[in-house]
């Protein structure tokens, strides 16, 4: 389910790492040496992934996480 998107090579202090893999097949940054490659991040209301969570039919965790981000944003805007 990985897309031809780059992995995350640097993370700022306000960025939360949501997922890593030890090898990202389409990433030029992946060395295949067992080092972690960041493939999902969140900063505030923004979420970015290097894979297609919508294609996973057997796992809804990413959909639930995205819905939580939307609910938190709506709550923040409603104040």
- What is the model's pTM? 0.68
**Residue 62 contacts residue 56 (beta carbons within 8 Å):** yes
- Biggest CA-to-CA distance, the chain: 47
Q: What is the pLDDT of residue 11?
A: 92
Contact yes or no for 36/63 (Cβ under 8 A) = no
Parallel/antiparallel/unpaired status of strands 37-43 and 46-49: antiparallel
Q: Give residue-wise pLDDT tens across range 29-53.
A: 555 566 788 888 999 888 888 887 7
Mean pLDDT within 18-28: 68
pLDDT digits (tens, 9 = 90+) for 9-19: 889 999 999 88
């Amino acid at each position: 389910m990985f897309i031809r998107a780059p992995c995350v090579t640097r993370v700022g202090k306000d960025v939360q790492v949501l997922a890593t893999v030890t090898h990202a097949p389409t990433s030029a940054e992946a060395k295949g040496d067992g080092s972690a490659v960041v493939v999902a991040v969140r900063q505030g209301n923004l979420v970015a992934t290097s894979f297609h969570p919508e294609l996973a039919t057997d796992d809804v965790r990413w959909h639930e996480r995205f819905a939580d981000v939307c609910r938190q944003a709506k709550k923040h805007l409603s104040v």
